[in-house]
Amino acid sequence: MFKKIPELNELQKLTDRFSNLLQVEELGQIEAKGIKYPMVGLVIGNKSPTAPTFGLFGGVHGLERVGSHVLLAFLNMLLEKCSWDRDWASFFERNRLVSIPVINPSGFALNRRSNNNGVDLMRNAPVEASGKLLWGVSGHRYGGFMPWYRGKELQTETRAVEAFAQKYLYQSQTAISIDLHSGFGMKDRLWYPWAHTTNPFPHLGAIHRIVELFEKTYPYHIYKIEPQHHSYMTHGDLWDWLYLEKQKNNNSAYLPFTLEMGSWMWVKKNPWQFFSLSGIFNPVKKHRYARTMRRHLHLLEFLLKGIDCPDKWL
């Protein structure tokens, strides 16, 4: 069942290898060309609903495979450390990490941005944007023949992510998440909400404090850190929606970040990449790929550690 998607193969190897540390859940099955693919969720650490929780998500867009690769590289490092580093073992007695490495398996199988229904899963949530919108790009309802289609209804994948968050994230006293994308701009951007409005995000103070902490800790970091609406606004942003849903359940802090890896610089450095569709969204040269796998480990580790010290940023 896993055979056609290399990322699900890698995930399977990881879950087999660290089965003592990971809880694996099948969140749904998504069909593409007659084959069913699983949506897999992972849970590491404290099982209490209120435990501080870090969410690590990737593979929302089927062409942006590198996001899932960075995610799996990070999980591999972390689980490897958990098997010998006592500090990490005790960290996970207090805290939890939850992850969906491939949110859009049918997009991966079909090698396209949208899911099997032609719906862009980052435009599908029930959140309406208002303000300066980009025609098409911000999300539309014309149909799946164009990218950025919002769809007519909530997709199975969107529901599954929400149900997973409801189970592991909504009751958490402190939650931070990051969703890994690629394909926009020359710089690696770290976005925080909102995507649907230019109004200030309710936990903006906490965002500013944790960003300040990050900048003090890593003064030479590479990220352009900004609210998503500085780049562009969208309808149906999944993380805007989950934040709003979590607030209905429990108004404790939740900081959802999005990493948008600036893939245009990979194309600039290697223009031939432009002629392969996946090349626009993923580093092709071996050394650049390896660099990308290393490049974000400290950011992910910083955000994960952040759930354990909310007194420093809340």
Catalog residues that contact Zn ion under the rule CB under 5 A: 61, 64, 181
User: In the complex, what is the shortest distance from the CB of residue 113 to Zn ion, in angstroms, rounded to a whole number?
Assistant: 7
**Measuring CA to CA, how many Å separate 274 from each of 96, 248, 279?**
40, 44, 6
User: In the complex, what is the shortest distance from the CB of residue 104 to Zn ion, in angstroms, rounded to a whole number?
Assistant: 10
User: In the complex, what is the shortest distance from the CB of residue 194 to Zn ion, in angstroms, rounded to a whole number?
Assistant: 17
Given the structure tokens 């903006």, which residue do they identify? 204
- In whole angstroms, give the CA distance from residue 72 to residue 281: 17
User: In the complex, what is the shortest distance from the CB of residue 140 to Zn ion, in angstroms, rounded to a whole number?
Assistant: 17
149 three-state secondary structure: strand
**Minimum CB distance to Zn ion smaller for 38 or for 58:** 58
Please report, for the chain, how many H helices and E strands are present, in that order.
Answer: 10, 8
**Minimum CB distance to Zn ion smaller for 69 or for 181:** 181
**Minimum CB distance to Zn ion smaller for 61 or for 112:** 61
Residue 39 near residue 158 (C-beta atoms within 8 A): no
User: In the complex, what is the shortest distance from the CB of residue 208 to Zn ion, in angstroms, rounded to a whole number?
Assistant: 25
**Minimum CB distance to Zn ion smaller for 64 or for 237:** 64
User: In the complex, what is the shortest distance from the CB of residue 60 to Zn ion, in angstroms, rounded to a whole number?
Assistant: 6
CA 166 to chain CA centroid, nearest Å:
16
Which DSSP letter does residue 236 get?
Answer: S
Encode burial over 281-313: b for 16+ CB neighbours within 10 A, e otherwise: bbbeeeebeeebbeebeebbebbbebbeebeeb
Cβ atoms within 10 Å of 146's Cβ, excluding its own: 12
**Minimum CB distance to Zn ion smaller for 136 or for 205:** 136
**Minimum CB distance to Zn ion smaller for 61 or for 203:** 61
Q: Which residue of this chain has its Cβ atom nearest to Zn ion in the complex?
A: 181
Starting at the edge strand that comes first in sequence, how are the strands of the sheet with 53-58 ordered? 22-32, 35-45, 96-100, 53-58, 174-182, 253-261, 189-192, 224-227
